[in-house]
């Protein structure tokens, strides 16, 4: 019970906003240095004008930061939505990229309205529904797709293929046809990014130096040295190559001329509806998962209201879509950097947006000097981190079952699209649960018995505790918000999956921070599907009488 003199969690942020502005100003500026090139690169990779990424980050920082409760998240365009955005532009434009861009904006606006409805319906809990292995498989597929597309830009070559697998197969040809000057800028940028990541683990002060800033400090002078601002040819190894402004970022003369309004003419078509669902669903999931991850990194261990944060994301997307911007989410890379730079409140997100607004308004010609190859390197760096071999290893350690779902989701996504990939991963996980002994009726509705006692309550879970019924389990737990001790008894559960183990581990930490105790018991007669502490647990045969099930 809080004493009257103790500020509530919702009171504390407003006080921090006024007392920590200096540290938030510094962190906001450093995040701005990271966000500037990433916003440009994500926009161009999405088939949008470069400035559209800046517009989104400005809306996410200057406006949306005041609507959500996620105090340390940075809102802006994310690499995870590139695949959806470029797909929308290409399919809806049918060859006309400008028309496709405006029609894609219409899908973003409608998806934003759906996100607002999600928030009003308190759908923030969706972040707890989707199984971890499926989400990570989807993100790994996005990483592969980003790399498959941006490798050619880094080499200064226009690929012939459009699909990810074909683009990967075309990389050797692009290596043979690469433009030496452009490729040099791209390769040096990649070396700087990966070198900074490796060295910053050993040299402490490097952690405070944004890697994208180092890239720009090298790539921009190289672009000037190669005179990319003027169309010309050069000879290298007896071959003639062309360079010019098309290898640099191009921005409109002023910010107002960049404002573009959506084209709603085909918004009810089947293709538009597909992208509306993908923007709304994938964007919401990514944003919620990022907000939860940032909460775990918050030194003050504050917890965000995910419904309010989803509302802020939806309103931000509505405004961004109406003026020509990309969709936004609570972005994990910039948010974690924000915390590392000493951010204390939502003011850091505001300052990051404000710096972007001022820079693009008063110094657009400096942005024009950025080589596209450097932006491609930053996106490849992001893609490699999403699809890193370490992700496969980490998933394998949790269990072969998780690696199977992860890999299946990745492959299906590469072969089809994000929605089909995620759906396929979820179906496979449900099938594997049935094979591991979970009854069909228990997949979506957990059977829970309540046994109150003097100090709290025991919740005895029967049949199965899996991702698809976890929201109901969590709701049952939340009904006992005033109980100091809550025990979850899984003795009679045939299966407890990895997602539930992971979520309960997080819930244990939340209970501890609130001075409460969550105890998990009854897993002694279950076999872990791997040695990992959060691996799925399967009931050993013959340990429970049939009548108890």
Q: Residues 8, 69: contact at Cβ < 8 Å?
A: no
Q: In which band, very low, low, confident or very high, does the pLDDT at 468 lie, cut at 50, 70 and 90?
A: very high
pLDDT band at 19 (very low <50, low <70, confident <90, very high): low
State residue 543's pLDDT score: 56
Range in 109-113, 361-365, 397-401 with the lowest mean pLDDT: 361-365
**Residue 486 three-state SS:** strand
Sign of torsion, CA 435 437 442 448?
negative
Between residues 127 and 241, the one the model is more confident about: 241
Confidence of residue 157 (pLDDT cuts 50, 70, 90): very high
Provide the b/e sequence for 64-87 (b: ≥16 CB within 10 Å).
bbebbbbbbbbbbbbbbbbbbbbb
CA triple 110-51-146, angle to 5 deg: 75
Other CB atoms within 10 Å distance of the CB of residue 134: 28
pLDDT of residue 124 exceeding 70: yes
What is the C-alpha radius of gyration for the chain, rounded to an integer number of angstroms?
25
pLDDT digits (tens, 9 = 90+) for 91-117: 999 989 999 999 999 999 999 999 999
Q: Among 11-15, 99-103, 271-275, 411-415, where is mean pLDDT lowest?
A: 11-15
Q: 82-93 and 132-155 are packed helices; what angle lies between their axes, rounded to 10 degrees? A: 70
Given pLDDT bands bounded at 50, 70 and 90, which one contains residue 545?
very low
Q: Is 132 exposed, middle or buried (0-12, 13-18, 19+ CB in 10 A)?
A: buried
Give 496's strand partners: 465, 537
**pLDDT tens digits for range 528-537:** 999 999 999 9
Residue identified by tokens 């936004």 is 328
What end-to-end distance do the CA atoms of the chain give, in Å? 39
Angle at 43 between CA 40 and CA 44, to 5 degrees: 85
Q: For the segment 76-86, what is each residue's pLDDT rounded down to a tens digit?
A: 998 889 999 99
Consecutive H or E run containing 518: strand 517-521
For 480-502, how does the pLDDT look when each residue is reduced to its tens digit (9 = 90+)? Answer: 988 899 999 999 999 999 999 99
H-state helical runs in 75-127: 82-93, 97-120
Q: Are 43 and 299 in contact (CB under 8 A)?
A: no
Residue 301 DSSP one-character state: -
What CA–CA distance (Å, rounded) separates 35 from 374? 14
Distance CA 235, CA 241 (A): 6
For 4-108, strand residue ranges (E) read 74-76
> Distance between CA atoms of 324 and 262, rounded to whole angstroms?
7
Lowest-pLDDT range of 63-72, 138-147, 167-176, 238-247? 63-72
Average pLDDT across the chain, whole number: 90
Q: What is the Cα–Cα distance from 350 to 360, expressed in whole angstroms?
A: 16
Give the model confidence (pLDDT) of 295-347 as tens digits: 877 787 778 888 999 999 999 999 999 999 999 999 888 888 888 888 888 89
Assigned token pair, 233: 């040819």
For the stretch 136-145, pLDDT in tens is 999 999 999 9
* pLDDT of res. 251: 82
Element (H, E) at 487: strand 485-489
Per-residue pLDDT, 126: 79
Banded pLDDT at 18 (limits 50, 70, 90): low
Token readout for 103 is 């029609």
Packed helices 372-386 and 211-225: angle between N→C axes, nearest 10 degrees: 150
* Structure tokens that stand for 102 in this block: 């405006």
pLDDT tens by residue, 29-58: 999 999 999 999 999 999 999 999 999 999
> CA 32 to CA 354: how far, in whole Å?
9
Q: Read off the pLDDT of each residue in 392-401 and give the average, rounded to a whole number.
A: 94
Q: How many CB atoms are located within 10 Å of the residue 302 CB? A: 18
């Amino acid at each position: 019970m809080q004493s009257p003199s103790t500020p509530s969690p919702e009171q504390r942020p407003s006080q921090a906003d006024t007392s920590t502005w200096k540290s938030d100003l510094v962190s906001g500026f450093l995040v701005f240095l990271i966000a500037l090139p990433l916003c440009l690169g994500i926009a161009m990779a999405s088939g949008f004008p470069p400035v559209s990424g800046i517009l989104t980050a400005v809306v996410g920082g200057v406006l949306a930061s005041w609507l959500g409760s996620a105090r340390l998240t940075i809102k802006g365009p994310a690499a995870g939505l590139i695949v959806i955005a470029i797909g929308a532009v290409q399919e809806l434009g049918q060859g006309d990229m400008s028309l496709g861009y405006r029609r894609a904006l219409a899908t973003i606006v409608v998806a934003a309205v759906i996100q607002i409805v999600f928030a009003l319906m308190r759908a923030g809990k969706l972040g707890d529904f989707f199984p971890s292995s499926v989400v990570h498989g989807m993100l790994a597929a996005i990483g592969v797709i980003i790399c498959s597309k941006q490798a050619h830009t880094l080499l200064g070559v226009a690929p012939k293929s459009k699909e990810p697998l074909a683009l990967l197969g075309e990389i050797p040809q692009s290596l043979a046809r690469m433009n030496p000057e452009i490729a040099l800028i791209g390769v040096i940028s990649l070396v700087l990014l990966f070198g900074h990541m490796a060295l910053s683990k050993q040299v402490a002060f490097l952690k405070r130096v944004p890697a994208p800033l180092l890239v720009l400090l090298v790539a921009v002078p190289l672009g000037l040295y190669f005179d990319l601002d003027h169309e010309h040819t050069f000879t290298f190894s007896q071959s003639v190559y062309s360079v010019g402004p098309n290898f640099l970022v191009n921005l409109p003369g002023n910010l107002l001329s960049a404002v573009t309004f959506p084209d709603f003419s085909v918004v009810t078509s089947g293709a538009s509806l597909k992208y509306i669902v993908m923007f709304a669903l994938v964007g919401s999931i990514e944003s919620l998962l990022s907000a939860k991850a940032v909460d775990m990194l918050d030194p003050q261990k504050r917890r965000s209201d995910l419904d309010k944060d989803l509302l802020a994301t939806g309103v931000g997307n509505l405004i961004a879509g109406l003026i020509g911007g990309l969709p936004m989410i609570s972005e994990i890379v910039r948010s974690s950097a924000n915390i590392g730079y000493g951010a204390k409140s939502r003011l850091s997100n505001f300052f990051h947006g404000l710096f972007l607004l001022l820079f693009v308004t008063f110094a657009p010609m400096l942005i024009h000097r950025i080589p596209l190859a450097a932006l491609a390197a930053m996106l490849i760096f992001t893609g490699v981190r999403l699809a890193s071999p370490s992700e496969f290893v980490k998933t394998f350690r949790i269990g072969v079952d998780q690696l199977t779902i992860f890999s299946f989701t990745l492959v299906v996504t590469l072969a089809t699209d994000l929605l089909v990939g995620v759906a396929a991963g979820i179906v496979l996980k449900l099938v594997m649960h049935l094979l591991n002994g979970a009854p069909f009726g228990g997949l979506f509705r957990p059977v829970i018995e309540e046994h109150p006692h003097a100090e709290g309550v025991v919740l005895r879970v029967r049949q199965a505790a899996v991702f698809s019924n976890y929201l109901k389990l969590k709701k049952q737990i939340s009904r006992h918000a005033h109980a100091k001790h809550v025990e979850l008894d899984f003795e009679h559960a045939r299966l407890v999956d990895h997602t539930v183990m992971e979520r309960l581990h997080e819930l244990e930490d939340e209970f501890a921070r609130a001075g409460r105790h969550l105890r998990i018991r009854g897993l002694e007669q279950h076999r872990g599907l791997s040695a990992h502490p959060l691996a799925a647990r399967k009931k050993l045969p013959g340990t429970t009488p049939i009548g108890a099930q």
